[in-house]
Amino acid sequence: MKKLLPAISFAGLALVIVPACLYLAGFTDKPQMQTLMLIGTVLWFVSAPLWIGKAERSM
């Protein structure tokens, strides 16, 4: 879990920005881009609070 949660979070962030890059490059359409960004957003906000706070407390 210690490594899985950050991995999920960063995958979420990637899903926020990569589809926009693909859209800029013309490799995807807008609805698909928006769906992927939404999935990425959910992943980030569900997973990030589970490890970011703990990482700070252990510093």
Partner 1 sequence: MAENTEYEREPVPAKARLGFRSFVGQYAGEHTAGTELMIGPLFVAAGVSAIDLVMGLLIGNLLAVLSWTLMTAPIATRVRLTLYCQLERITGRKFVVIYNAVNGIAFCFLAGSMITVSATALGVWFEFPMPGLNDLYPNSVGWVIGVLAIGTVVAYVAAAGYRVVAKVANYAAPWMVLVFIAFGLVGLRDFANATGASIGSPGEFWQLAETVIWTGGEPLPGQVKFTFWHVMFFAWFANMAMHVGMSDLSVFRYARKARYGLASATGMYLGHFLAWVAASILFALQLHRDPSNTDVLPGPLAADAVGLVGLLCVIVAGWTTANPTIYRAGLAFQAIVPKASRFKVTFATGLLCAVAGMFPAIAMKLLGFVALYGLILMPMGAVIFCDYWLMKRFGMQPFYAERAGKSVNWAPAIAWIATVAVCLAAVNMGYVGLYFASLPGWFVAAAMYLGLSKFLQRQPSATHGATT
Q: 1-59: which residues touch partner 1 (CB under 8 A)? A: 12-13, 16-17, 20-21, 23-24, 26, 30-31, 33-34, 37-38, 41, 44-45, 48-49, 52-53, 56, 59
CA–CA gap between residue 42 and residue 52 (Å, rounded): 16
CA–CA gap between residue 41 and residue 13 (Å, rounded): 7
DSSP 27: S
Q: Phi first, then psi: what are they for 43, rounded to 5°?
A: -60, -45
For the CB of residue 10, give the shortest distance to partner 1 in the complex, in Å.
Answer: 9
The contact set with partner 1 (CB under 8 A) reads: 12-13, 16-17, 20-21, 23-24, 26, 30-31, 33-34, 37-38, 41, 44-45, 48-49, 52-53, 56, 59
